[in-house]
Amino acid sequence: MATLWMSAAAFALGMGVAIGCVLARASRFRLLRVAVRGYIEVIRNTPLLVQLFIIYFSLPQLGIRMDADTAAVLGLALNFGSYAAEILRSGIEAVPSGQIEAATALGLSKLRIFRHVVLFPAIRVSYPGLAAQFILILLGSSVVSAISAEDLTSIVNSLQSTTFRSFEFYFAATLIYLFMAVAARLLLDAVYWLGFRRGRA
């Protein structure tokens, strides 16, 4: 299913973006910090649909072209990345500074401290927030049909325009989305219980 594939790709890329953002915000360079903050604020305060339009319709004017599916995944990833960065940041702020000091005292390198002491516990704390955001992206991805990317919605659009049975097709598509959202929710909860709750004990 194109929708699932797209959301999963956006999730993976977006997590990369988010981790990059979190690192950049802790950087010594003020310019980098300001730039990342600007990126997060701009994405969070503008609609996903307009972001997709800019990537797919505006960028070609600057000579940056890509097909609709790539643009859709990129847009979703950038969107998810900014939200995930904020969720991760609050998770990182929840890591007690004593833990970092203890790790420093053990002579761990900065990278290893970040990986083992800061990032993984932060992801664990942020997991419920990230999971909720993933569901939002899964449902929000239905707007990529507006830039002619191939997803569930666009398939239904073309079906209904050839058969004129609009209501029935949209109703069926809505049920499929509902099923995906509920299934994803259960799956993510199961992962949380198996992976994190047990790991903590």
Partner 1 sequence: MSRVFGLGELFFIVAALRWTLALTLVAFLGGGVGGFIVAMMRVSRSRAVRIVAGIYITLLQGTPLLMQLFLAFYGLAVLTGLRLDAWPAVAMAFTLYAAAFLGDIWRGTIEAIPATQWEGAAALALPRWRIMRHVILPQAARIAIPPTVGFLVQLIKNTSVAAIVGFVELTRAGQLMVNVTYQPMLVYPLVAALYFVVCWPISYAASRLEAQLDRRGSRI
By CB under 8 A, name the binding residues for partner 1: 41-42, 44-51, 53-54, 57-62, 135, 139-143, 145-146, 153, 166-167, 170-171, 173-174, 177-178, 181-182, 185
Nearer to partner 1, 59 or 108 (CB): 59
Non-local CB neighbours of 115 within 8 Å, separated by 6+ positions: none
C-alpha span between 26 and 14 (Å, rounded)? 18
Minimum CB distance to partner 1, residue 199 (Å): 27
Nearer to partner 1, 126 or 141 (CB): 141
> Do 89 and 23 meet the contact criterion of CB atoms below 8 Å apart?
no
Non-local CB neighbours of 192 within 8 Å, separated by 6+ positions: 127, 128, 131
Minimum CB distance to partner 1, residue 62 (Å): 6
The C-alpha torsion from 124 through 126 and 130 to 132, rounded to 10°, is: 110
Minimum CB distance to partner 1, residue 104 (Å): 29
> Do 135 and 185 meet the contact criterion of CB atoms below 8 Å apart?
yes
Nearer to partner 1, 9 or 49 (CB): 49
Minimum CB distance to partner 1, residue 118 (Å): 22
